[in-house]
Structure 1
């Protein structure tokens, strides 16, 4: 255990107040708790090193909100939203602050997806009927890449895909993976996706999602025109046209 460092801060009234501010470097410089846990659990030294490396990596991305409650000297609290409450309506996860740190964005996305799944899983285990949940993941290739990358392990990616798609169905979780570069997307998503919708794209992109035969209609189609392919359709494929944008993008004049 490592003591929190008490520092003084000035509040909005101008009065000095005492808070406890964690020092992550100080935490990681004292590995007594990790050593004790490793000894009790009879961990190999490689496992211990992996734990320390993982904690350093997570701490370095700067996404953790850590609080040291007053009077609780040796306890850190990691605040997260109440998923039960926020899942009552529409929720948007804004990752613009992490454009230059894709690993941090991936950590947040996976943590939130895990929280959503856990809530619906608890409802199912209690004998309740989970509320329908629809998850839209834009630029999905950033969070579910094709293979191992510097920031993401392929096994971890495919484990999350399996959890959301295969296990999520009985928990009434539907997922929409949106991408303009399916070549960069993990192939397991293309395999498990029951419905595919292709907007205006090059022939090579259409081939990747199994819609190459519609290249003539889609390659030079008007805005909003798309082909939808689904096992739920009696004809398997239909041509559709989306509504005009309801809000303007920054690039729109």
Structure 2
């Protein structure tokens, strides 16, 4: 009677293919949640069962349903089962018609409709079944809403169950780790193009410009003043981005170019920072100043409203603050470095470049193209990114304080180790860690989420690792996986194909979920 009821429960959720083992004791507990199951040879022939396959179990006595994942497979010749020594190594096909043995890691249990960690005993001969999609989705606890980034994987195969990231996951910050060619850029493009919230991407390589173009968004470019006319910069940008078909159909103040190829339209805005209007901002976000240097730089700047070119005059006011010579030297070096970033007090076509209207970034997809800034040095690209990120935080903070409202926005940092490194010199470390806290701790409360991607997590600041509550590992070496505490997947991920990854998040019901990422397709590709 109990066996029949267990089989009926299993049959409702999938196809029964085997039984919990009769030949070894079945035990699981807090430290070890694995059991042995056996699949008849004829069933094994017709099913693709392997490491990573999800299976359900219907315990005979408990009356519940349990989801498990295959951790190991075992095949044995009849001689090995009967422990009879072989006289000769002759082939005998009938001798391998033994059951397929599987080691099943128990993941979750359905107890009266509630999915909880597995605790019930699994009885010998409990039916084992291939679960249907809805049962699998329910038992994994994957969200039904949010941005679809891929499909839950069973080994290297797709299960048919969508994997989505909700806004709650994104606002609690996501870290993506993977070596070059593992599929990080593709995954971020899928995420950016599918986001229902505004997205700002900080792009060092120019990989996401086409994503902004495809979505009709905008591209911001901090650009050194090496162009005589704004159109010279526009043409260079289009050529370097493979967008020669686009033409300016409108030019607004700034300058801002509205560009179109007849079917798609996007906005291009070169920008810079006026030092006379932004002394406080530059001191807060610059990677050059020490904590004392930033403080006294701002004090002196308040008394002298010139730009950096006239700093030597302003710097005389430092003497009345009795600033230590080491701090004065730091300020002097930092001012020199700021002048050479190619971002501060930059002219284009004879006019100074200002900052964009950040309220406009609260819609659609914006890419901050840092290629020109990176050519001046990594610190220039970091400074430009921190200026934009801080302005967006200030906008969200103002709305939060004055209106009590959040400003939902997703900030994406590719090559995150360049922005938030682990081993930065002491002078800039404090300002960088303040930036992390501002964006990831205070920003979350104000509606700002971050996604950070890197192929070098060993170089990433510890605070970032602590504050990212969801981690995604793609193909990576053992050291990288160890850094994000996912080294148990090194066997799978060291040789994984592009797009195969493991997600670890508070938002799913089980510890980890393997998945295959969607392949990003631009509109121009799908329409061709």
Corresponding residue for 2:439?
A: 164
Higher strand share: 2
Corresponding residue for 2:382?
A: 106
Instruction: Tell me which of 311, 323, 331 is aligned to 1:44.
Output: 323
Aligned counterparts of 1:181 and 1:217: Cα–Cα separation in 2: 19
Corresponding residue for 2:312?
A: 31
Is 1:130 equivalent to 2:411 in the alignment? no
Is 1:232 equivalent to 2:507 in the alignment? yes
TM-superposed CA distance for 1:128, in Å, is: 3.7
Aligned counterparts of 2:521 and 2:321: Cα–Cα separation in 1: 58
Is 1:246 equivalent to 2:502 in the alignment? no
- The alignment yields a C-alpha RMSD, in angstroms, of 3.0
Instruction: Tell me which of 321, 327, 333 is aligned to 1:53.
Output: 333
Q: Secondary structure in 1 aligned to 2:476?
A: coil
Contact 2:481 2:487 in 1 (8 A): yes
With over 3 angstroms needed to count, the CA separation of the structure-2 counterparts of 1:96 and 1:32, relative to structure 1, is closer
Contact 1:147 1:153 in 2 (8 A): no
133-142 or 217-226, which deviates more: 217-226
Corresponding residue for 2:449?
A: 174
130-139 or 85-94, which deviates more: 85-94
Aligned counterparts of 2:459 and 2:311: Cα–Cα separation in 1: 41
Aligned counterparts of 2:308 and 2:461: Cα–Cα separation in 1: 37
Unaligned 5+ runs, structure 1: 1-8, 13-25, 68-75, 249-253
With over 3 angstroms needed to count, the CA separation of the structure-2 counterparts of 1:200 and 1:94, relative to structure 1, is same
Moved >6 Å (runs of 4+)? none
Instruction: Tell me which of 404, 407, 416 is aligned to 1:140.
Output: 416
Contact 1:200 1:223 in 2 (8 A): yes
Instruction: Tell me which of 374, 382, 396 is aligned to 1:120.
Output: 396
What is the TM-score with the length of structure 2 in the denominator? 0.38
Contact 1:198 1:206 in 2 (8 A): yes
Aligned counterparts of 1:247 and 1:144: Cα–Cα separation in 2: 30
Instruction: Tell me which of 348, 353, 367 is aligned to 1:92.
Output: 367
- 1:102-130 Cα deviation digits (max 9, x unpaired): 11111111111111111100010012422
- 1:124-143 Cα deviation digits (max 9, x unpaired): 00124222110110001111
